[in-house]
Amino acid sequence: MKSIYRILVIISLVIMVSIPKISGADGIVRYLLWVLLIITLSSGWNIIGGYAGQFSLGHSVFYGIGAYIFVLFFHSFKIHWALSFFIAGVFSVITSIIVGVPTLRLRGGYFAVGTLTLSEVMRVWANNAPEVFKGGVTGVAVTLPEGWSPIYSYYLMLSLTVVSVAISYFVKNSTLGLKLRAIKDDEDAAEGLGINVLRCKVAALMLSSLIVSLAGAAQITFTAYVSPDSVFGVKRSLEMVLACLLGGLGTLYGPIIGGALFEILARILWGFPHLHLLIYGGIIATLIVFEPRGVIGIADRIRHILKSRLFLR
């Protein structure tokens, strides 16, 4: 089974790498950029939301900080894009510690509401403080380097996706991953067994925010635009959660499957411009109640049913 997964991963990587060579800079590449973005975001969110069970609804904070810091250094200070990228990541990890130490003491719904509030505070602040957040309400159009092509963005996004899935893989199979799963099931019992619960949760949030903020910076290279509502809005936070739930909360491949499904869903929902948030919310609620492990959970159920049928015969 393991080796089948490995072959599938290699094949899909080869396909992903060669797509721009075949299709050129337009069409499918532009579409896949968004797919890669949502996969990266939801596998980043999955580390704190899925593995550790800390349901953050405010990850747009890290996404927005990544985006704004990148714009500040790259666009305003004219620093090389790779370095700006790096600075954005560092800055977001520091923010995650400042944010995480108080909010991660909250449990369950309180943590979700706390992080949601935080992202709204950031959005309102960004809208009203053009001296800090360049452009204020209207946002900023970013000038990309001479000759920058969406293909560069594509490879940037693809490597970021690979890195974030790799980080997820290593976390899942590490002692940190095991401790996080224990914390998800019972915080008190985990603490009583010698786990420093707060430290583990903060570590998970740091990794999670690093991935999400780098994605926030990388998307600037193909949207060439940043505004408070586009990066700090609740919509972004919800999208990560939804993609993760669609694929499978707390699983390695869930965010990949979920991200791909989400982009398809998003295209369909373009037809209902004022209803889409309502529909997202409905889907999130339904999945949490009936199958938090999404597509992977449903596939598991079907496999179990088939197995027991075959066994009975």
Q: Closest CB to other proteins among 26 and 186?
A: 186
Helical H runs in 24-133? Answer: 28-46, 60-70, 81-103, 108-128
Q: Classify residue 146 by burial, with Cβ atoms within 10 Å: 0-12, 13-18, 19+.
A: exposed
Task: Determine, following the binding rule CB under 8 A, whether residue 197 of this chain makes contact with other proteins.
Answer: yes
CB of 28 to other proteins, least distance (A): 39
Tokens of 220: 């600037």
Residue 271: φ, ψ to 5°: -70, -15
Task: Count residues binding other proteins (CB under 8 A).
Answer: 19
Site string for other proteins, 129-168 (x = CB under 8 A): ----------------------------------------
Residue 4: φ, ψ to 5°: -60, -45
Tokens of 228: 């408070």
Task: Determine, following the binding rule CB under 8 A, whether residue 194 of this chain makes contact with other proteins.
Answer: yes
Which DSSP symbol is given to 252? S
Site string for other proteins, 162-181 (x = CB under 8 A): ------------xx--xx-x
DSSP state string for 226-245: E-HHHHHSHHHHHHHHHHHH
Where in 12-51 is the site for other proteins (CB under 8 A)? none
- The correct pick among 195, 245, 256, 296 for binding other proteins (CB under 8 A) is 195
Radius of gyration of the chain (CA): 20
DSSP state string for 85-104: HHHHHHHHHHHHHHHHHHHT
CB of 53 to other proteins, least distance (A): 10
CB of 184 to other proteins, least distance (A): 7
- The correct pick among 108, 109, 192, 281 for binding other proteins (CB under 8 A) is 192
Task: Select from 135-143, 154-162, 184-192, 305-313 the region that touches other proteins (CB under 8 A).
Answer: 184-192
- The residue ranges that bind other proteins (CB under 8 A) are 174-175, 178-179, 181-182, 184-186, 188-197
